[in-house]
Amino acid sequence: MSWGTELWDQFDSLDKHTQWGIDFLERYAKFVKERIEIEQNYAKQLRNLVKKYCPKRSSKDEEPRSAIEMHLASTSSLQQVQLPSLGIQPSSFPSSGQSVGNLRDSSMPKEPAGQREVVAEEMAHRVYGELMRYAHDLKTERKMHLQEGRKAQQYLDMCWKQMDNSKKKFERECREAEKAQQSYERLDNDTNATKADVEKAKQQLNLRTHMADENKNEYAAQLQNFNGEQHKHFYVVIPQIYKQLQEMDERRTIKLSECYRGFADSERKVIPIISKCLEGMILAAKSVDERRDSQMVVDSFKSGFEPPGDFPFEDYSQHIYRTISDGTISASKQESGKMDAKTTVGKAKGKLWLFGKKPKGPALEDFSHLPPEQRRKKLQQRIDELNRELQKESDQKDALNKMKDVYEKNPQMGDPGSLQPKLAETMNNIDRLRMEIHKNEAWLSEVEGKTGGRGDRRHSSDINHLVTQGRESPEGSYTDDANQEVRGPPQQHGHHNEFDDEFEDDDPLPAIGHCKAIYPFDGHNEGTLAMKEGEVLYIIEEDKGDGWTRARRQNGEEGYVPTSYIDVTLEKNSKGS
């Protein structure tokens, strides 16, 4: 049967082609899987790289040692966040670093490594997972279609065999009938044959003729059935199976094209976010100020020691010209002069820590083991921390008193006496903190008394102290008495300069520069100032290291704005605007 061979050859070709399509689908899925692993490994290695080279400090209070370290901290942090602070203080990055995309969608990751993980997750969900699921469905569908084709072919073969068997049987019966005919004719023409033999031959002929007729009818029926099934097979069943296989292969092609687009979209979605990160790196690089870096290093390491005095002249020739009467006096003066010189040299040599060795010893409570300037800074930091703790305890005391009043008015809500132990503990903490503040302020006054000739240091420390308190409560700062609240902007004290005469308490603070908003800021929190992108504001107070700058509009409205959202330009010799 040539038609059967050709049909099976075509069927085998379709079988191989559809199998090749599924193999290609799975091969592409394997490629996507390996690409996902590469993206995940890249994100992990990028994080490890940043963690390895990001500057490390032994404690939170340790300051940057050099401008190089601060710049390295800023560039390393840029690998962690999308669009960091435009300043280079490492302490400002965790609080103020945000991406532009993150302002629109808080669920977006803030780091390039996270963006690579987003690509991997998108590919895994949208491409790899979809390919594996579709490949499984495709195998099941292909198997079903091929089984239907084989069943149709097997049914047609069965019909053909039935028809062929009936044909062969009809042919065999016809030959037997011919033999019976020839035997009957031979006996009928033989004169020696008996009548019984002739009659028997005639009956045999009739039987064979009847069987041949029956086989003929069976063969005709089987032939008609086979022709109908063959027509149905070639014009209905097989075309339908081929069409289903064709549609299946076309859907596979469409699915591949969708996965190609999904693969590209997964990469394309993160390109704008990574571009924002690179723009932030460029802005941070442009904002590096070598003068400010140097000044920060100077402020971090200046000791506050007075330079040593001049060495006195030691005249060893006095004993040659001295007389007996004044020898004793001269000798005593000379010995006294030597003693003073040695004492001066020893004291001066002990304080020159810049190129000498620092004295080793345990850290003291009053930081007296540190140079004067460093001691003053440490004491000021401790006082600021104690003031914050005092404010928390005061707020807790106020809350407990309010709760106690509520309980007294409504006894069913609680027992006022149950709050007494907590109130007593809070009052003890407040007293302890006030004593600590008083003790540290006494040490600070001692240090500033020794360095009274340099009043600018105290002035800057007071401003820093008050601004720090002003950040916690934008409406004003708090005095030592936790119950007494002073409203208004932070005021400078402990130092008198020309601004005290030029500006009264009711006058606005002078502008020390101007700034331009790089990003919009809503300013929902109390004490902050809302601004639009590109808006120009006056700077009335610099960032003290907490990531906020005090600014003022032209209409006089004041408030704090994030330092990372503005481009600051300070006036060198400005007394106000």
* Percent above pLDDT 90 for the chain: 27
pLDDT at 41 over 60: yes
- Helix locations, 312-454, DSSP H: 318-321, 324-351, 372-409, 420-450
Which pLDDT value is given to residue 262? 92
pLDDT at 486 over 90: no
With contact defined as beta carbons under 8 Å apart, do 248 and 116 qualify? Answer: no
Under the banding of pLDDT at 50, 70 and 90, the label for residue 246 is very high
List, in order, residues 6 or more apart from 274 with CB less than 8 Å away. 112, 115
Least confident of 11-15, 188-192, 252-256, 354-358: 354-358
Beta bridge partners, 561, equal 549
Dump pLDDT digits (tens) for 361-388.
567 787 877 888 888 888 898 999 999 9
Higher pLDDT, 237 or 374: 237
Least confident of 399-408, 462-471, 560-569: 462-471
With contact defined as beta carbons under 8 Å apart, do 422 and 400 qualify? Answer: yes
pLDDT at 258 over 90: yes
Residue 389 CA to residue 396 CA, distance in Å, equals 11
Residue 105 CA to residue 79 CA, distance in Å, equals 19
Which pLDDT value is given to residue 346? 44
pLDDT at 330 over 50: no
Dump pLDDT digits (tens) for 488-539.
333 333 334 433 343 344 456 778 888 999 988 887 777 888 898 889 999 9
Q: How far is CA 8 from CA 144, 236, 540, in A?
A: 17, 17, 90
Which pLDDT value is given to residue 121? 92
Closest by Cα among 57, 55, 58, 100 to 74 = 55
pLDDT at 79 over 50: no
With contact defined as beta carbons under 8 Å apart, do 7 and 239 qualify? Answer: no
pLDDT at 222 over 60: yes
- Helix locations, 413-541, DSSP H: 420-450, 455-472, 498-502
Which pLDDT value is given to residue 3? 54
Query: Of the ranges 60-69, 75-84, 132-141, 401-410, which is most confident?
Result: 132-141
Backbone φ and ψ for 560, nearest 5 degrees, come out as -100, 140
With contact defined as beta carbons under 8 Å apart, do 205 and 167 qualify? Answer: no
List the structure tokens of 164.
Answer: 């062929």
Which pLDDT value is given to residue 481? 39
Residue 32 CA to residue 55 CA, distance in Å, equals 37
Residue 15 CA to residue 305 CA, distance in Å, equals 92
Give CA torsion, residues 269, 272, 278, 280, to 10 deg. -120
Dump pLDDT digits (tens) for 412-435.
888 888 888 888 899 999 989 998
With contact defined as beta carbons under 8 Å apart, do 119 and 46 qualify? Answer: no
Under the banding of pLDDT at 50, 70 and 90, the label for residue 14 is confident
Mapping DSSP to helix (H, G, I), strand (E, B) and coil, where does residue 508 land?
coil
- C-beta atoms surrounding 330 within 10 Å: 15
Mapping DSSP to helix (H, G, I), strand (E, B) and coil, where does residue 356 land?
coil
Mapping DSSP to helix (H, G, I), strand (E, B) and coil, where does residue 486 land?
strand
Least confident of 128-142, 308-322, 523-537, 558-572: 308-322
Query: Of the ranges 13-17, 191-195, 326-330, 498-502, which is most confident?
Result: 13-17
pLDDT at 91 over 70: no
Mean local confidence (pLDDT), 205-209: 90
pLDDT at 563 over 60: yes
Which pLDDT value is given to residue 32? 94
* Residue 218, H or E segment: helix 195-232
Dump pLDDT digits (tens) for 261-307.
999 999 999 999 888 888 888 998 888 888 888 888 888 777 777 77
Residue 153 CA to residue 182 CA, distance in Å, equals 43
pLDDT at 360 over 60: no
